[in-house]
Amino acid sequence: MSELIFKTAHELADLLEKKEISSEELTNAQFERIEKTEKYIDAYISLNKEGALNKAREIDRKRAEGQKLSHLAGIPAAIKDNICTKGITTTCASKMLYNFVPPYNASVMDRLSDTPILGKANMDEFAMGSSTETSYFKKTKNPFDTGRIPGGSSGGSGAAVSASEAIFALGSDTGGSIRQPASLCGVVGFKPTYGLVSRYGLVAFASSLDQIGPFTKDIHDCALVLNEICGHDEHDSTSLDIPTADFTKALTGDVKGMKIGVPKEYIGEGVSDEVREKVLEAAREFEKMGAEVDECSLSMMPYSLAAYYLISSAEASSNLARYDGIRYGFRADGCTDVDEVFFKTRSEGFGDEVKRRIMLGTFVLSSGYYDAYYKKAQKVRTLIREDFNKTFEKYDVLLAPTSPCTAWKFGEKSADPLEMYAADICTVSINIAGLPAASMPFGVDKGGLPIGVQLIGKPLGDADIIRAGYALEVHAPKISPEIGGAR
């Protein structure tokens, strides 16, 4: 099998540009890999072989003709199945949308129009979950240990990149759904500042928290994908109208004088010793490279999980109300009137976790409870934002764990929703404050499972994260999974 698939996007971009390889060759190699390893991993809900190869050939032809192409043109990727792809089924891993074929592209897909789409990556149903176990279709396995979950909700995207089943992938992050699976699968995952990447075409879970971002093999690739997907979109009113930066300019390796804070609340109780040790080790590496590292405090952190689950569920209860069986997707059989269509379709079409959040969200928005829950959560949101703003007066980047623990076994946390929700403790407050943050691999635990460290930036401080991450990456041990007894 071709070794091409183990290369990074920036290496492949150079080879493609020099015409040493073709996109068709690369895309074919990628499908060969998928055929070999997908039976162990189950990263994809659907594959798009014909479409991807057609795109690859189109790019090769354009390149031969000397047409101007984007930097990542011809490099195949996996797309989370909640990002609308014109003509390609977009299910959100739900029975409710098992047959939904969008007639339009998400804005990010238009931006990645030179990208062969390998397939649509598995996820927790409607992105609700931290293990990808709530998918209606399949359970994605962690490439480092197929008895364990890959994290979630973008577990398919994380596992695909980790298992070399895609050169890069797109995911979405509402409370950690990019960073946590990246951490558990040993790859780089980046959640940009809210508003930097258009949400148009991302099937909404919690509109004020959702953000699309990349999964990549390293920080350099992450910068390249960000360059492609960031930018203003008139179809998204929450999209920021600011000039786009070239994130590769932050690939300097220089962090001298950079002020890095380690919030003590993030390495306290509930975080495993091994994870804490890795974060502190990363802190020491930064210090050695000339950064100023200091312990700091984010005192609102303990309230973030509650605020997050109230706000995200409230928005979800409204965002998911449109799945009523009338216009598209699943419709229950044997209904005799409209109300029955609503009740039966929604009862049969949604899984338990989605229903749980819809009920919670409906409750917190109800008259008589709104002030006590939703409104109070919004107040907490303001306090969390202020907490971060104050901290960022002193620091450029914050360093924290991404996940309090490494990948757990299937079923281990499924029985108790609260235990599952607690897995998001280190990531949710970043979404609440709309900040950028990345998870990058930084070694493994005793069992050989990846540990990720999280770099958190100030609003629009996305480049600071790339800069710090690129410098730290040099000191992170290279890790890769063994799948089916081979690399």
Query: Among 274, 287, 324, 445, which residue interacts with other proteins (rule: CB under 8 A)?
Result: 324
Residue 128's identity, in one-letter code, is M
Stretch that binds other proteins, among 60-68, 249-257, 272-280, 364-372 (CB under 8 A): 364-372
208 forms part of the interface with other proteins (CB under 8 A): yes
366 forms part of the interface with other proteins (CB under 8 A): yes
350 forms part of the interface with other proteins (CB under 8 A): no
Beta bridge partners of 117: 77
59 forms part of the interface with other proteins (CB under 8 A): no
CB closer to other proteins out of 335 and 422? 335
334 forms part of the interface with other proteins (CB under 8 A): no
CA distance 21 to 75: 11
- Angle, helices 273-288 vs 462-473, to 10°: value is 90
477 forms part of the interface with other proteins (CB under 8 A): no
Backbone φ and ψ of 380, nearest 5°:
-60, -40
CA distance 39 to 36: 7
Phi-psi region of 237 (alpha: psi -120 to 50; beta: other; left: phi over 0): alpha
326 forms part of the interface with other proteins (CB under 8 A): yes
Site for other proteins in 112-171 (CB under 8 A): none
Phi-psi region of 261 (alpha: psi -120 to 50; beta: other; left: phi over 0): beta
Query: Among 5, 13, 106, 160, which residue interacts with other proteins (rule: CB under 8 A)?
Result: 106
Beta bridge partners of 356: none
103 forms part of the interface with other proteins (CB under 8 A): yes
CA distance 10 to 46: 26
Q: Is 90 exposed, middle or buried (0-12, 13-18, 19+ CB in 10 A)?
A: buried
Stretch that binds other proteins, among 64-72, 359-367, 380-388, 473-481 (CB under 8 A): 359-367
238 forms part of the interface with other proteins (CB under 8 A): yes
CA dihedral over 327, 333, 338, 339, signed as positive or negative: negative
* Residue-level length of the chain: 487
Backbone φ and ψ of 116, nearest 5°:
-65, 125
Among 265, 352, 366, smallest CA distance to 310 is for 366
CB closer to other proteins out of 150 and 192? 192
Stretch that binds other proteins, among 143-151, 218-226, 311-319, 447-455 (CB under 8 A): 311-319
328 forms part of the interface with other proteins (CB under 8 A): yes
Shortest distance (Å) from residue 129 CB to other proteins: 18
Beta bridge partners of 145: 142
The residue from 22, 177, 304, 317 that is catalytic is: 177
Coil, strand or helix at 247: helix
255 forms part of the interface with other proteins (CB under 8 A): no
92 forms part of the interface with other proteins (CB under 8 A): yes
Shortest distance (Å) from residue 425 CB to other proteins: 23
197 forms part of the interface with other proteins (CB under 8 A): no
Active site residue 80: yes
318 forms part of the interface with other proteins (CB under 8 A): yes
314 forms part of the interface with other proteins (CB under 8 A): yes
Tokens of 408: 């757990």
CA distance 152 to 193: 20
Stretch that binds other proteins, among 28-36, 199-207, 242-250, 413-421 (CB under 8 A): 199-207
Shortest distance (Å) from residue 421 CB to other proteins: 21
Active site residue 177: yes
433 forms part of the interface with other proteins (CB under 8 A): no
194 forms part of the interface with other proteins (CB under 8 A): no
The residue from 7, 55, 80, 413 that is catalytic is: 80
- Per DSSP bridges, beta strands 397-401 and 259-263 are parallel
CA dihedral angle for residue 170, residue 176, residue 177, residue 183, rounded to 10 degrees: 80
Query: Among 235, 284, 288, 487, which residue interacts with other proteins (rule: CB under 8 A)?
Result: 235
Backbone φ and ψ of 206, nearest 5°:
-130, 100
Active site residue 153: yes
65 forms part of the interface with other proteins (CB under 8 A): no
Coil, strand or helix at 240: coil
CA distance 435 to 455: 11
360 forms part of the interface with other proteins (CB under 8 A): no
CA distance 442 to 315: 34
CB closer to other proteins out of 72 and 314? 314
| Contacting residues toward other proteins, per CB under 8 A | 82-84, 90, 92, 97, 100, 102-104, 106, 199-204, 206-208, 234-238, 314-315, 317-318, 321-322, 324, 326-328, 338, 342, 362, 365-367, 370, 374
Q: Which residues are catalytic?
A: 80, 153, 177
